[in-house]
Amino acid sequence: MAAGMKTTQRAEKAPDKGDVERRSRKASKETRQLQLIEATIDSLAKRGYADTTMADVADGAGLSRGIVNFHFESKEKLLVATLQHMYDEYSAHWRNALQKAGEHPARRLHALVAADFDRSICNKRKLAAWCAFWGEAKSRPTYQALSGSRDQDYQQTIVGLCEQLKKDAGYAYDAEATAVGLSAMLEGLWLRLMMGAENMTRESAYRAAVEYLASVFPKHFSREGETGEKIA
């Protein structure tokens, strides 16, 4: 009886061949799509939005043009998927940084700012791709809708932290206006990095951001030290 039960249990645990094949096809599909999205980012960084073609993406990925058409059907669908991927990556990055920072609002705000200058997110290739999309967003409602929902989550997080710091230290600023100013400053630093303005580097851009934090939140941030935090 015991031997029979063990045999039955082993049979129940044996993977179904059809399920394995389906998972393999799904993994292969996702891998291929990611490969094409990465090639699209490369092309956007190299050629810009208007001059990026499905053929460029296929060549960059080392795949046939038919494979690109099979997965995305059109340039517009490929670009929407690429923008979605970039937003997903950016969102996961800053949320992870926030989670690691703990509960103190100053540490959390600093983590958000520092995350923007991490090499995995802040590099010329990805900055150029972001700028390519930003240039098209005004005339493309799909891009506006996608970016709007994601940006709102990020912005409300910054507003909440500004409100906590104001309550903690008695600052006189308007939390929403201050959050908008902080976001605009970070976006401006990204743009300067992409354009190579003033020989700016990720390190110098980060230092400028810390300087801004120290100016707006002097009771929580200083210009000294690696992080600029001044937490009692």
Is the pLDDT assigned to residue 180 strictly greater than 50?
yes
Q: Does this model's pTM top 0.85?
A: no
Structural domain including 6 reads 1-73
Is the pLDDT assigned to residue 225 strictly greater than 80?
no
**Are residues 192 and 116 part of one domain?**
yes
Q: pLDDT value at position 208?
A: 95
Residue type, 89: E
**CA 202 to CA 121: how far, in whole Å?**
11
**Are residues 53 and 92 part of one domain?**
no
CATH number, domain containing residue 61? 1.10.10.60
Q: pLDDT value at position 134?
A: 84
Reported confidence tier of residue 224, pLDDT bands at 50, 70, 90:
low
Are the C-beta atoms of residues 78 and 38 closer than 8 Å to each other? no
Picking from 52, 73, 94, the residue at the C-terminal end of a domain is 73
| Class of residue 130 by CB neighbours under 10 A (exposed 0-12, middle 13-18, buried 19+) | buried
Q: Look over the chain and give the mean of its residue pLDDT values, rounded to a whole number.
A: 85
User: Long-range contacts for 200-204 (Cβ within 8 Å, ≥24 apart)?
Assistant: 202/117, 202/119, 202/122, 203/117
Torsion angle of the four alpha carbons 120, 124, 126, 132, in this order, in degrees rounded to the nearest 10: 160
**Are residues 94 and 34 part of one domain?**
no
**Are residues 107 and 215 part of one domain?**
yes
CATH number, domain containing residue 121? 1.10.357.10
**Are residues 68 and 86 part of one domain?**
no
Is the pLDDT assigned to residue 22 strictly greater than 70?
no
> pLDDT per residue over 40-96, tens digit each?
999 999 999 999 999 999 999 999 999 999 999 899 999 999 999 999 999 999 999
Is the pLDDT assigned to residue 117 strictly greater than 90?
yes
Reported confidence tier of residue 8, pLDDT bands at 50, 70, 90:
very low
**Are residues 13 and 119 part of one domain?**
no
**Are residues 42 and 110 part of one domain?**
no
**Are residues 102 and 8 part of one domain?**
no
Picking from 73, 94, 123, the residue at the C-terminal end of a domain is 73
> In 3D, which of 115, 88, 116, 110 has the Cα closest to residue 186?
116
Tell me how many domains the chain contains.
2
**Are residues 108 and 67 part of one domain?**
no
**Are residues 211 and 97 part of one domain?**
yes
Q: pLDDT value at position 14?
A: 53
**CA 97 to CA 60: how far, in whole Å?**
32
Is the pLDDT assigned to residue 11 strictly greater than 60?
no
Q: pLDDT value at position 29?
A: 85
**Are residues 62 and 107 part of one domain?**
no
